[in-house]
Amino acid sequence: MAKKEKKFEDYFKIVKHKLPYWEELPEIDLYMDQVIALMEKYLSFHKTDENTKIITNSMINNYVKLGIMPAPIKKKYSREHIAYLIIICTLKQSLPISDIKHLIELRVKRSSIEETLNFFSDLYDSVFNTVIAIGKKFSLKNETEDDLFSDTALFMAIGSSGSKYIASQISELNKK
């Protein structure tokens, strides 16, 4: 049993990641290609394969056109822009862009983008660690390591699906 737990612990060290806080963002303004490289660094855990793009020039331009984030100033992007992109790129894994825009607008009305990013990063870390802990507790009941990993993947997929459904329903109610 100890061997199974050790390997399982190693697995969760691999998938452990966190989102940056405001004070961790660059203090200098960046050009588009630098922003894209930074976002790849911050959010590479979202990649499903080497060809997956976390963000592109077109995506950023569309987010500005849709009013989800402010336009760059003289083709440069500040901490504020990066904060918006971190939130957008993370949420787009489970919500449509219209819901993301609405949720960001509601949050930023109550506080600054700095406070919003810090809240978002705290919340993300808390949710991630909770899901991992529940998955680990549930999965340690398995007899074999293969069962452990397949049941953990199943738990995570069901949790993701359920969470996505609940988030979309709450977002719809919030728009009314």
Q: Any residues with CB less than 8 A from the CB of 93 and at least 6 apart, and which? A: 46
Residues in the chain: 176
Provide the token pair at 135.
Answer: 């998955």
The predicted pLDDT at position 162 comes to 81
pTM for this one? 0.81
The predicted pLDDT at position 118 comes to 97
Cα separation, 36 vs 85, whole angstroms: 10
Cα separation, 20 vs 18, whole angstroms: 7
The predicted pLDDT at position 10 comes to 58
Domains of the chain by residue range: 2-175
Residue type, position 102, single letter: H
